[in-house]
Amino acid sequence: MNKVYSVSNVNKYIKMMFDKDPLLIDIAIKGEITNFKAHYTGHLYFTLKDNASTIKCVMFKGYASLNKFAPKDGDSVIITGSISSFERDGVYQVYVKTISLDGQGDLYLKYEELKEKLKNEGLFNPEYKKKIPFLPRRVGVITSKTGAVIRDIINVSTRRYNNVNLLIYPAAVQGVNTAETVINGIEVFNNMENKVDVIIIARGGGSFEDLFGFNDENLARTIFKSKIPIVSAVGHETDFTICDFVSDLRAPTPSAAAELVYPSKLELISNINNLKLRLNRAIQVTLDKRKQSLKNITADRLQKTPQSIIQKYTMIVDSNIKTMENIIKNRYNNLMKEYTKNIALLDSYSPLKTLARGYSVVTLTKTNKIIKSKEDVSKDDVINIKLSDGQIEASVI
């Protein structure tokens, strides 16, 4: 009977065999990315496939941070790394160290490196972008003297604004001389005595390699230093070059560049007519308001004649007199009520009221002192007895 091994032993042995194979330790593989996932830890997980097979891949954070572009599903790439087994799950996968786009490789890395360098220097910053002038008198176009691009720019420009003044500088838009000829065109336009107002750099679509001449450092710095605003219209809408990033404005296509530079004459006329209509309406509204204000002022002045003023203040005096009379009358009535109340109260406390009820007041005649006790009198004292209807003289016996 064959020897029995544990699962862990088998997986460990398989991993050891992978790690011993010199071909698998350092291998380059070409394929298309699918099932791409960027983990929050910074690790990248994806599958590499071709027409017949797939293989799992992982790129750890340390290597992923050095990557020059952001991979995504559908990218055709070349990866380098090692193939080994993941013991726990018993599966093998590629441990990726580098990843580059297939067919571009070194060119794309150079593009990304230059892009990052110029970005860090501030050549792409919005504050350095020059404003494209409205209704430029003269436009310089740097492009191939033949082909659809120049015809499109001329057709679109003349259709939108028939008073165009285009100055064409023929340049190589593909190949090793691209950057040099475009730089020459920019310098020629900047050094002209009667300068152009805006420059368009234009080229039709193409592959990454076809457009690579516009990813030149010297060209980027020349664009940045140009005193004339520059519109970049290189390639199709999905194509991006260093020229696009450093220019003052990017147009998705050469035709769009012409539309951005030249406004539509018909639209301008329409806008002018609309503004004229709005201005006339605003003037009419203002005049109506002024007329109404004048009427109000006139009516107000009529109310301010001497006679009207006298009548006005006469009415005010009459009203004040009436108010004062009412105040005095109310005050008098209140005082009379209070007086009557006090008289009644004093009358209730009057000694005469007490005498009327049968009481009397007895005083010594000689001193007029009220007698309150029998001790206050002596025999033969003359006393006065005051009653409600008169007095009685009497003697004490």
Last residue of a domain, one of 263, 289, 304: 263
CB 44 within 8 A of CB 59: yes
Instruction: Let me know whether 256 and 179 are in one domain.
Output: yes
Instruction: Let me know whether 142 and 240 are in one domain.
Output: yes
Instruction: Let me know whether 146 and 231 are in one domain.
Output: yes
- Name residues of the chain where pLDDT drops below 70: 1, 103-106, 299-306, 308, 350, 352-358
- What is the model's pLDDT at position 302? 56
Does a structural domain hold residue 324? Answer: no
Say if residue 288 is exposed, middle or buried (CB neighbours under 10 Å; 0-12, 13-18, 19+).
exposed
Instruction: Let me know whether 95 and 153 are in one domain.
Output: no
Last residue of a domain, one of 213, 235, 263: 263
Nearest to 228 by CA among 106, 136, 318: 136
Strand pairing of 44-49 and 54-59? Answer: antiparallel
Last residue of a domain, one of 263, 282, 307: 263
CB 52 within 8 A of CB 32: no
Does a structural domain hold residue 283? Answer: no
Q: What's the domain count of the chain?
A: 3
* Residue 201 parent element (H or E): strand 198-203
- What is the model's pLDDT at position 140? 93
CATH no. for residue 212? 3.40.50.261
Domain containing 369: what range?
Answer: 352-395
Instruction: Let me know whether 97 and 113 are in one domain.
Output: no
Instruction: Let me know whether 35 and 67 are in one domain.
Output: yes
Q: What is the dihedral angle through the alpha carbons of 124, 127, 129, 134, rounded to the nearest 10 degrees?
A: 160
Instruction: Let me know whether 53 and 150 are in one domain.
Output: no
Query: 256 in helix, strand or coil?
Result: helix
- What is the model's pLDDT at position 303? 58
Question: How large is the angle between the packed helices 254-261 and 148-160, nearest 10 degrees?
Answer: 30
Rounded CA gap, 257 and 140, in Å? 12
Does a structural domain hold residue 243? Answer: yes
Instruction: Let me know whether 68 and 92 are in one domain.
Output: yes
Does a structural domain hold residue 31? Answer: yes
Q: Which residues contact residue 356 at a Cβ distance below 8 angstroms, ignoring those fewer than 6 apart? A: 388
Does a structural domain hold residue 328? Answer: no
Does a structural domain hold residue 218? Answer: yes
- What is the model's pLDDT at position 95? 94
Instruction: Let me know whether 51 and 164 are in one domain.
Output: no
Question: How large is the angle between the packed helices 217-225 and 178-191, nearest 10 degrees?
Answer: 10
Instruction: Let me know whether 79 and 121 are in one domain.
Output: no
Does a structural domain hold residue 278? Answer: no
CATH no. for residue 79? 2.40.50.140
Instruction: Let me know whether 60 and 167 are in one domain.
Output: no
Rounded CA gap, 266 and 256, in Å? 17
Instruction: Let me know whether 225 and 116 are in one domain.
Output: yes
Nearest to 260 by CA among 135, 145, 143: 135
- Count the neighbouring beta carbons within 10 Å of the beta carbon of residue 87: 16
Rounded CA gap, 185 and 203, in Å? 14
Does a structural domain hold residue 242? Answer: yes
Rounded CA gap, 21 and 384, in Å? 157
Rounded CA gap, 303 and 287, in Å? 25
The reported pTM is 0.51
